[in-house]
């Protein structure tokens, strides 16, 4: 992706994108078909006279396009493009082309490393966007481009199948962030045993892949850190409370929380962000076996609370409980956000459109909400309250890991809240519906979306960095 001045040497161009306003396409713009399009929709024609390109795509703009609109329009364009060279021309006001560029890059993502006839190599396609102020635009795009790379990192991890992305492989991909200056520490099973993360270990004990906790530390400032926690269940069979076969293959995405955290860490490091952020992920595989935990088992969490494991398929909260407690004890963060594909119930509630959010702190939540809003990532707050909390009281332990049938996403959040210290601002994001979509979403094709990488990065830039 390159933002270039008019008149730059362009070489052969296969596709010419015009963001409205064109001289020679006036007949097209005046056509009935074009007038019926909604802003943001595209129209493509082949072999336009006077235009040195194989085909021409025109994007319809509203009267007032803003950055958000341009990102969406860009994604729509990016989705239709292969890796052909492209020239984009437009008479947009300044400061908008870089957002168009970001949208194009986000929308053009494909995960086809396992397809024989894959048409997209590792090389970024040759895309040029004409602008009267290429230097400024290119510099602005640099920051937006970091978020694209972080998002792609997260998406690749989520799309990777579980025979490839084992806990060990996941940890080694996170270790690669060291090259960018992130401190990465891998806690192995004997470390976790010594520390006392028995709830997390219980989830992974039926698997041949060893459980791990990975601590990623980006020290871009001296301040106490903001903490990001991710659920990293590399595959969730449900364990002994095994899931039905239909759709079980999707549970390869049950590590999306951890992937999102990794995507944010990568974005921060690429952007040399002047903020202090610690990302901690719990990597486990939930398998049935002779060694697996059983329904009815009671485990002692790191916090010291005993947990009655009524359903081994409610495993994410067991992992998070220990990782969150460890994080608070070791780092005393200024705030903590956990991301997890935690419940099917949140999909019943909000579908694939909105992330479900829970928080113990209105101001903290407000900051996140407006960052997500600016980045066009949908989030909707759900309630926490004592009346939901008592549903998970256990008769024989301090807490049980499932409630009854109703309000499943909320009782899961109430469970987590028991592992949050009272004075720590906390947000729980249940990303089960938004992290992986069965249909294309705004900025991504079917599959992993990378939801949250941009919102969290913006939150950090706006409120937790020195600049
Ligand atoms: N990983 C699942 C939640 C999930 C479901 C993620 C669908 C993405 C898509 C989680 O571990 C789980 O199994 N949750 C159970 C909880 C239940 C046993 C209380 C669920 O939602 O059914
Ligand atoms: Mn489960
Ligand atoms: Zn799960």
Closest CA to 155 of 117, 101, 113, 215: 113
Q: Is-catalytic flag, 317? A: yes
Q: Are 295 and 286 in contact (CB under 8 A)?
A: no
Report how far ligand 3's centroid is from the alpha carbon of 227 (Å). 21
Q: Rounded to whole angstroms, how far apart are CA atoms 430 and 126? A: 37
Atom of ligand 1 nearest to the CA of 411: 19
How far is the C-alpha of 5 from the C-alpha of 128, rounded, in Å?
A: 9
**Cβ contact 84:128 at 8 Å:** no
60 catalytic? Reply is no
- Tell me the CA–centroid distance for residue 275 and ligand 2, in Å: 34
Judged by DSSP in three states, 76 sits in helix
- The catalytic position among 60, 212, 317, 417 is 317
- Residues 366/316/324/218 CA torsion (nearest 10 deg): -80
Please give the Cα distance from 244 to 225 (Å, whole number): 41
The encoded tokens of residue 219 equal 């020290």
Cα 373 from Cα 380, distance rounded (Å) = 11
CB 402 near ligand 1, within 6 Å: yes
Protein residue with its CA nearest to atom 7 in ligand 1: 344
Q: Given the residues 243, 274, 418, 421, select the one marked as catalytic.
A: 243
Q: Is the CB of 456 under 6 A from ligand 1?
A: no
Proximal ligand: closest to the CA of 248: 1
CA 233 to ligand 3 center in whole angstroms? 6
Strand order in the sheet with 2-4: 2-4, 127-130, 86-90, 15-19, 55-59, 42-46
pLDDT by residue, tens only, the chain of 467 residues:
788 777 666 555 556 666 554 555 677 777 888 889 888 888 888 877 767 777 788 888 887 889 999 999 999 989 988 887 888 877 777 888 999 999 999 999 999 999 987 755 667 788 888 888 889 999 999 999 999 999 999 999 999 999 999 999 999 999 999 999 999 999 999 999 999 999 999 999 999 999 999 999 999 999 999 999 999 999 999 999 999 999 999 999 999 999 999 999 999 999 999 999 999 999 999 999 999 999 999 999 999 999 999 999 999 999 999 999 999 999 999 999 999 999 999 999 999 999 999 999 999 999 999 999 999 999 999 999 999 999 999 999 999 999 999 999 999 999 999 999 999 999 999 999 999 999 999 999 999 999 999 999 999 999 999 97
SS3 per-residue string spanning 361-396: CHHHHHHHHHHHHHCCCCEEECCCCHHHHHHHCCCC
Question: CA 440: distance to chain centroid?
Answer: 15
Regarding the beta carbon of 349 and ligand 1, being less than 6 Å apart is answered no
SS3 label, residue 185: strand
Instruction: Output b/e per residue, 216-251; b: 16+ Cβ within 10 A.
Output: bbbebbeeebbbbbbbbbbbbbbbbbebeeeeeeeb
- Asked if residue 81 has its Cβ within 6 Å of ligand 1, the reply is no
Give the residue whose CA is nearest to atom 5 of ligand 1.
344
How many C-beta atoms lie closer than 10 Å to residue 43's C-beta? 18
Q: Which atom of ligand 1 is nearest to the CA of 243?
A: 13
Query: What predicted TM-score, i.e. pTM, was given to this entire model?
Result: 0.96
């Amino acid at each position: 992706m390159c933002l270039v001045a008019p008149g730059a040497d362009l070489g052969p161009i296969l596709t010419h994108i015009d963001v409205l306003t064109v001289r020679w396409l006036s007949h097209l713009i005046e056509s009935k078909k074009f007038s019926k399009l909604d802003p943001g929709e595209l129209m493509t024609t082949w072999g336009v006279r006077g235009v040195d390109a194989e085909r021409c795509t025109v994007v319809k703009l509203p009267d007032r396009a803003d950055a958000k609109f341009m990102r969406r329009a860009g994604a729509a364009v990016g989705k239709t493009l292969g890796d052909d060279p492209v020239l984009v021309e437009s008479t947009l006001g300044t400061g908008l082309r870089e957002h168009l560029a970001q949208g194009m890059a986000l929308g053009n993502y494909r995960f086809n490393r396992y397809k024989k006839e894959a048409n997209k190599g590792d090389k970024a396609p040759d895309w040029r966007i004409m602008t009267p102020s290429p230097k400024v635009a290119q510099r602005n795009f640099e920051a937006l481009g970091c978020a694209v790379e972080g998002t792609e990192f997260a998406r690749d991890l989520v799309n990777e199948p579980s025979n490839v992305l084992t806990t060990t492989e996941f940890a080694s991909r996170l270790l690669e962030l060291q090259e960018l200056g992130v401190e990465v520490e891998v806690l192995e099973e004997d470390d976790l045993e010594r520390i006392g993360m028995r709830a997390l270990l219980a989830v992974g004990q039926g698997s041949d892949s060893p459980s791990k906790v990975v601590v990623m530390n980006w020290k871009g400032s001296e301040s106490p850190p903001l903490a990001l926690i991710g659920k990293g269940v590399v595959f969730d069979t449900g364990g002994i409370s095994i899931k039905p076969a239909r759709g079980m293959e999707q549970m390869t995405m049950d590590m999306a929380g951890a992937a999102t955290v990794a995507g944010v860490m990568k974005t921060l490091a690429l952007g040399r962000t002047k903020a202090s952020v610690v990302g901690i992920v719990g990597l486990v595989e939930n398998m049935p076996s002779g060694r697996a935990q059983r329904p009815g088992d009671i485990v002692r969490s790191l916090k010291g609370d005993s947990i009655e494991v009524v359903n081994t398929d409610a495993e994410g909260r067991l992992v998070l409980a220990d990782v969150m407690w460890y994080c608070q004890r070791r780092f005393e963060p200024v705030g903590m956000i956990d991301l997890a594909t935690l419940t099917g119930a949140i999909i019943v509630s909000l579908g694939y459109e909105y992330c479900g959010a829970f928080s113990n702190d209105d101001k903290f939540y407000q900051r996140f909400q407006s960052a997500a809003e600016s980045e066009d990532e949908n989030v909707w707050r759900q309630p926490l309250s004592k009346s939901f909390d008592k549903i998970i009281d256990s008769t024989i332990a301090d807490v049980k890991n499932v409630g009854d049938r109703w309000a499943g996403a909320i009782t899961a959040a109430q469970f987590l809240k028991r592992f949050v210290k009272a004075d720590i601002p906390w947000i729980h994001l249940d990303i089960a519906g938004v992290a992986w979509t069965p249909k294309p979403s705004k900025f991504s094709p079917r599959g992993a979306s990378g939801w949250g990488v941009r919102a969290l990065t913006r939150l950090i830039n706006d409120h937790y960095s020195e600049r």
